[in-house]
Chains A and B, each alone.
Chain A
Amino acid sequence: MNCVKDINTLRKTEPIFTKEAALSVILEQITDGFFVVDSQWVILFANEPAALIAKKPLREVIGKNLWSVVPQYVDSEIYDHYEHAMTSGKPTSFITYLDEFKVWLETRLFPTSQGLTSYFRDITAQKKAESKQTEMFNQLKLTTQELERSNRDLAEFAAVASHDLKEPLKSISFWLDIAGQTSSTDEVRSKCFMRAIQNAKHCVNLIDGMLEYSRVGREQLHFQSISFDKIIASVKSDLANSIAEAGVTMIYSCSPIICVDEIQFVRLFQNLISNAIKFRSPARDLKIEIEIQEVEEKIEFIVKDNGIGIPESDLSTIFQLFSRSENAKSVPGSGIGLATVKKLVELHGGTISAESRVGDGSLFNFSIPKRREGNSFSLL
Chain B
Amino acid sequence: MNSKHHILICDDSEDVRSLYKLALEQEHFVVETAQSRSEAQSLVEDWEPDLILVDFRMTGISFNAFVKFLKTNPKTQASKVIALSSFSKTDPTVLNRDPSVQFFQKPASLSELLSIVQNSL
A residues touching B (Cβ–Cβ < 8 Å)? 163, 166-168, 170-171, 173-175, 177-178, 181, 183-184, 188, 191-192, 195, 198-199, 311, 313-314, 326, 329-330
Contact = CB atoms under 8 A, between A and B. Distances in A.
A184 B110 CA distance: 12
A184 B15 contact: no
Given A163-B87, A174-B107, A177-B110, A195 B15 contact: yes
B12 to A, nearest CB: 6
B78 to A, nearest CB: 29
A184 B26 contact: yes
Contacts of A177: 109-111
B18 interface: yes
Closest 5 CB pairs of A and B: A170-B108, A177-B110, A326-B59, A177-B109, A171-B15
Contacts of A192: 22
Contacts of A184: 26
Nearest to A192: B22
A174 B19 CA distance: 8
B106 interface: yes
A175 B13 CA distance: 15
Nearest to B15: A171
Contact of A195 (B18, B87, B107, B108): B18
Highest count of chain A CB atoms <10 Å: which of B13, B15, B106: B15
B86 interface: yes
Interface string B96-118: 00000000001111110100000
Q: Which DSSP category, helix, strand, loop or mixed, fits chain A's interface?
A: helix
Interface of B: 12-16, 18-19, 22-23, 26, 59-60, 86-87, 106-111, 113
Contacts of B106: 167, 170
Given A167-B86, A183-B26, A175 B59 contact: no
Given A173-B109, A199-B15, A178 B23 contact: yes
A174 B26 contact: no
B108 A173 contact: yes
A171 B19 contact: yes
A191 B107 CA distance: 20
A281 to B, nearest CB: 20
Contacts of B14: 330
Contacts of B26: 178, 181, 183-184, 188
Contacts of B110: 174, 177-178, 181
B64 to A, nearest CB: 17
B16 to A, nearest CB: 7
A247 to B, nearest CB: 28
A174 B108 CA distance: 6
